[in-house]
Amino acid sequence: MKKLLSLLLILSSLLCLVACGGGGDDGAPEGMMLASDPDKDGYRFYIPQSYLYAEVFGGVLSYVSNVDKSSISVMRVAFTGSDPDKDDIEEYFDAHADEFESLYKSYEFKEKTDKPYPAFEKRYRYEVTYARQNKDGSATDEHYGIVQLFSQQGDYLYILTYEASRDKNEIIGAVPYEENYESFVSVAKSFVFTEKAKEGGTAAVPNFTFDNGDTPDGMRLASDPVLCSYRLYLPKDWVFDVQTNLTSGYVESDKSSISMYGVIYEEKTYAEYFENVKKELKSVYGADYVLTETLGDLYGDDCPKEDQSKRLRLQDLLGDGVTEMGGDSSPYVYLIEGKTPSGQPVRVLRITVVKGYYAFTLQYTAKSDCFAAHTDELAAVVSAFRFKGQK
């Protein structure tokens, strides 16, 4: 459920969505257009012709307009229920329901319906409240209605999501949830699976063409060229996490990972921003976490089988690469040493760069005794990172 929730959270902070080239009529209902590639995705996803949309990892995102961000999206995840012998949608939903309460300020389940539309087996409706931070430090509650439709196709779960504000939008003079609900119903009724659906489609890792021919040797583009305002390249032999809708990848052997995420930057200085970050670290990495806030003379340990002379000095490793990342100000680099909820000691290196209205963070996470095992790859990733338009 965390994978599908990440999609909802990303929608609230996307830099932009653009209208993609339509796929022709292909039997589209009147006033609608095809927003998916049936042969590649395994389904026909029709949306109103006025909507903006874009393909992302694992699915398609669409929304009404730049002043009404009501969204309709479809995504695909590899499906395993909480009981390996009984893959059941209801069991899957219930097993992860507690995560809603941790992700939102409030969560209220409304109803469940069986066989709501021809293509889907289950319908769940609930309402949530976000606490949106204001520049003066206060918070404003924003209320959203969410409807999710589920369908199991082979070993894959397809989720159609409608998310819209329950608060009146003064620009459009209406409540977005009510204004756009009938459009969602039309989308749900016209949704059709193809034979490719049970195979998970053929687009698990999109073959991006937005590279300008400058992909570094031994790497490939990990970030979505449409939605992301940056280009993040990761080693070719890493596993790309295509189900979280986040820019991330990891090493299969030890699960060391690199990810990239952005949040709205509302603080005036890094110091103010970092004070808010530190409030979260204790809950994530434990009360005894250790924080080092400068590049400085930091050293990491190698995995046991590695050459013990190969020690990591972050300033030597990241100095040039970090300064060339292209933000509006110098990057802020810090190291976290703590434990996961399961008690595993970890080290987390974060590099935060402010660009426009967003603070982007590149995060490298590894078990403490394996932190230095992939530092050459980390250096290459940092060196290759670019914002769009940056040479």
pLDDT band for position 22 (50/70/90)? very low
Q: What is the pLDDT of residue 227?
A: 58
Quick one: DSSP state of residue 86?
Answer: B
Q: Read off the amino acid at residue 383.
A: S
Query: Which of these, 54, 71, 76, lies nearest to 3 by C-alpha position?
Result: 76
CB atoms within 10 A of CB 264: 13
Q: pLDDT tens for residues 213-231?
A: 467 888 888 876 655 778 8
Phi, psi values for residue 195, rounded to 5°: -65, -25
Contacts of 136 (CB under 8 A, 6+ apart): none
The Cα 358–Cα 335 span in angstroms is: 21
Q: pLDDT tens for residues 37-81?
A: 888 888 999 999 989 887 765 688 888 887 888 999 998 877 654
Mean pLDDT of 313-326: 56
What kind and span of H or E run contains 270? helix 270-285
With beta carbons less than 8 A apart as the criterion, state whether 191 and 34 touch. no
Q: Read off the amino acid at residue 213.
A: G
Contacts of 242 (CB under 8 A, 6+ apart): 57, 58, 204, 205
Domains of the chain and any CATH numbers: 2-199 (3.40.1000.10), 219-387 (3.40.1000.10)
Q: Read off the amino acid at residue 161.
A: T
Strand, coil or helix: 356? coil
Q: What is the pLDDT of residue 154?
A: 82
Residue in the block written with tokens 């924003």: 142
Q: What is the pLDDT of residue 121?
A: 93
Report residue 371 CA to chain centroid gap. Answer: 24
Mean pLDDT of 127-147: 76
- Is pLDDT of 295 > 80? no
Full DSSP string of 103-172: HSSEEEEEEEEEEEETTEEEEEEEEEEEEEEPTTS-EEEEEEEEEEEEEEETTEEEEEEEEEESS-BTTT
The mean of the pLDDT values for the chain is 75
- Is pLDDT of 120 > 50? yes
The Cα 108–Cα 260 span in angstroms is: 31
- Supply the pTM of this predicted model: 0.53
- Is pLDDT of 19 > 60? no
pLDDT band for position 244 (50/70/90)? very low
The Cα 357–Cα 252 span in angstroms is: 35
- Is pLDDT of 11 > 60? no
The Cα 212–Cα 223 span in angstroms is: 14
- Is pLDDT of 180 > 80? yes
